[in-house]
């Protein structure tokens, strides 16, 4: 199946009351693992590249080109997304390379500045047919959308969406980025209120910190795009450590990185089995 537009995957899931897994990659092995897991689950998936990953690679072209190539060869629908871009130059390059969507993150700016900056990026991206996600949390943005205790107000979410024209909105409902434990408690009533007020699909960032049953409940209450990064990095690293510990003489990177790739593929398939259950259907725990 060819590379598809992000909006095609997310809007279809939102209409069906399902979640979509959006998984961040750093190495090529991550991209291959995410797609392998999606193929095993028979589900569409979104490959994401964060601005931090772009910095790690010294630019977007090489890692972005690799992700696009993996997506084009997939047997399921795969979209490629630029995650947490704060620089417009990165957004422009993603558009030029053929990404289906970008997440422009101006959440650290005061509200009115966030609106102005995001609306301008939306105009530019929509001119090229590229879907835009934005982020809104604590107004004033002192600590960003995922500061402890930050929550997105449903009325402000609706206003922000109307004024900017964004296609999806990342909201603050209790998660936090880079959590190493799956102990996050989400405000499910707020998710439902946001779903009722905001006319575009909702995005949950920091989903690595939420346990399986909470992710299922988040989807059941109205979340659609579920971003996961740290959780997969933990699985990858644990498998690599175990493989190296089992053979002190091992130097072939294909062997231990392959173990990490297999671990991530299994976890992606498992998570997609949870996220893609329609609302109102009992999900796995």
- pTM, rounded to two decimals: 0.90
Q: What percent of the chain has pLDDT over 70?
A: 88
Half-sphere exposure of 161 (CA within 13 A, CB side): 21
Q: What pLDDT is recorded for position 142?
A: 35
Q: Is residue 224 included in any domain, yes or no?
A: yes
**pLDDT band at residue 173 under the 50/70/90 scheme:** confident
- Residue of 197, 194, 145, 199 lying closest to 174 (CA atoms): 145
3 state DSSP class of 196: helix
Cα 36 to Cα 45, 198, 207, 210, 266: the distances in Å are 10, 33, 21, 23, 8
CA 13, CA 1: separation in Å to the nearest integer?
18
Confidence of residue 199 (pLDDT cuts 50, 70, 90): very high
Angle between helical axes of 111-126 and 88-97 (0-180°, round to 10): 20
- 10 inside domain: yes
Q: Given this model, what pLDDT does residue 276 score? A: 86
| Structure tokens belonging to residue 181 | 């434990």
Summarize the confidence of residues 14-39 as an average pLDDT: 97
Compare 45 and 209 and report the one with higher pLDDT. Answer: 45
Mean pLDDT (whole number) for 257-264 = 98
* Band of pLDDT at residue 149, cut at 50, 70 and 90: low
Any domain includes 1: no
pLDDT at 212: 85
pLDDT value of position 148: 54
Averaged pLDDT, 43-51:
96
pLDDT of 271 higher than 60: yes
Whole-number Å distance between alpha carbons of 151 and 93: 31
83 is known as an active-site residue: yes
Q: What is the pLDDT of residue 214?
A: 84
Higher pLDDT residue, 138 or 62?
A: 62
The answer to whether position 280 is within a domain reads no
Does pLDDT of 174 surpass 60? yes
Q: Which of 83, 105, 167, 187 is catalytic?
A: 83
Of 123, 127, 173, 112, whose CA–CA distance to 148 is shortest?
A: 173
The answer to whether residue 182 sits within a structural domain is: yes
Interval 233-253: pLDDT, tens: 999 999 999 999 999 999 999
Per-residue model confidence (pLDDT) at position 145: 46
Confidence of residue 184 (pLDDT cuts 50, 70, 90): low
What burial letters (b/e) apply to 208-227, b meaning 16+ CB within 10 Å? bbbebebbbbbbbbbbbbbb
CATH number for the domain spanning 96: value is 3.20.20.70
Is pLDDT at 177 greater than 90 in this prediction? no
Q: What is the pLDDT of residues 97-111, one digit of tens each?
A: 999 999 999 988 888
Helix (H, G, I), strand (E, B) or coil at 193: helix
Q: Cβ neighbours of residue 209 under 8 Å, at least 6 residues apart?
A: 175, 176, 179, 181, 182, 183, 184, 230
Q: Would you place residue 206 in the very low, low, confident or very high pLDDT band (cuts 50, 70, 90)?
A: confident
Q: b or e along 166-187 (b: 16 or more beta carbons within 10 Å of the residue's beta carbon)?
A: bbbbbbbbbbbbebeebebebb
pLDDT band at 277 (very low <50, low <70, confident <90, very high): confident
Domain extent for 243: 6-275
Residue 281's closest CA among 217, 188, 192, 200?
A: 217
Query: What's the pLDDT score for residue 16?
Result: 94
Pairing label, strands 168-171, 131-136 = parallel
pLDDT at position 281: 60
User: Does a structural domain hold residue 74?
Assistant: yes
Cα distances (Å, whole numbers) of residue 57 to 26, 53, 183, 207, 258: 9, 6, 31, 24, 20
**Does residue 160 fall inside a structural domain?**
yes
* Helix, strand, coil percent values for the chain (each to nearest 5): 50, 15, 35
**Inside any domain, residue 38:** yes
Checking if the pLDDT of 95 tops 70, the result is yes
What is the mean pLDDT of the segment spanning 262-272?
Answer: 97
Domain count, the chain: 1
């Amino acid at each position: 199946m060819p590379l598809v537009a992000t909006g095609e995957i997310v809007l279809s899931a939102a209409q069906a009351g399902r979640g979509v897994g959006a998984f961040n990659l750093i190495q090529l092995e991550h991209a291959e693992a995410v797609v392998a897991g999606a193929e095993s689950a028979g589900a569409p998936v979104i490959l994401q590249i964060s601005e931090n990953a772009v910095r790690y690679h010294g630019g977007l072209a090489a890692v972005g080109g690799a992700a696009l190539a993996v997506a084009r060869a997939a047997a399921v629908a795969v979209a490629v997304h630029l995650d947490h871009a704060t620089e417009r130059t990165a957004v422009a390059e993603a558009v030029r390379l053929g990404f289906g969507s970008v997440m422009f993150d101006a959440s650290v700016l005061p509200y009115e500045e966030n609106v102005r900056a995001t609306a301008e990026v939306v105009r530019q991206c929509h001119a090229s047919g590229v879907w835009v996600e934005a982020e809104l949390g604590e107004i004033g943005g002192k600590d960003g959308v995922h500061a402890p205790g930050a929550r997105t107000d449903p009325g402000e979410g609706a206003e922000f969406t109307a004024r900017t024209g964004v296609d999806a909105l990342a909201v603050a409902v209790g998660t936090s980025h880079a959590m190493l434990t799956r102990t996050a408690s989400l405000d499910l009533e707020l998710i439902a209120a946001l779903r009722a007020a905001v006319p575009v699909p909702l995005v949950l960032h920091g989903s690595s910190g939420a346990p399986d049953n909470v992710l299922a409940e988040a989807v059941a209450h109205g979340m659609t795009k579920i971003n996961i990064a740290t959780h997969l990095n933990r699985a990858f690293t644990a498998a690599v450590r175990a493989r190296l510990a089992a053979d002190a003489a091992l130097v072939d990177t294909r062997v231990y990185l392959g173990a990490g790739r297999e671990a991530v593929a299994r976890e992606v398939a498992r998570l997609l089995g949870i996220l893609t259950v329609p609302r109102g259907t009992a999900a796995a725990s």
